[in-house]
Amino acid sequence: MAEIRRIRVDDAPVVRDLYRAYAAALAERYPEDAIGISEQGLSNLETLFRLGVVRDDEATFVADDGGELTGFVTASVRRGRALPGVAGEIGELWATEPGLERRLAETAVQRLLERGGGAIFHTEDAEHPAREPWESLAADVVRFSRYA
């Protein structure tokens, strides 16, 4: 069984490759959406993954199956600037094996709660929403976003 743990610096390039596989899987599943990611985008994400090692309000967790990384999730804390309050946000979540996404999501939620997240958000594609693991984690709202 894979261990869910916080990312290490030397894991960041591996998670970058996992993200590339994640984007490719989405592109194959939804060809009409023309999903893709550039090398610069992957480099930016690798920087985010590295921040997940050293910053308390950014975290990346990985599923480590005997030294092979088989999944990841990103989580961040957002502190109010003008209004009080702390929110958590779960970003990307992907795993190569069934059941790992839920464990990764639970770990991210727990971390955000420990960091003071009063509300925790995750945004899904309205056209192709992933219902799980979110519904079974007692999610109660859908976030609305509109892009010009």
Is the distance from CB of 117 to CB of 92 less than 8 angstroms?
A: no
| pLDDT band of 77, cuts 50, 70, 90 | very high
Q: What is 59-93 written as a DSSP string?
A: EEEEEEETTEEEEEEEEEEEE-SSS--EEEEEEEE
Domain boundaries, the chain: 3-137
| pLDDT for res 140 | 55
Which tens digits make up the pLDDT trace of 89-125? 999 899 998 889 999 999 999 999 999 888 888 877 7
Nearest to 97 by CA among 65, 73, 125: 65
**CATH 3.40.630.30 describes domain 3-137:** yes
| pLDDT band of 133, cuts 50, 70, 90 | confident
CA distance 7 to 120: 21
Reported pTM = 0.85
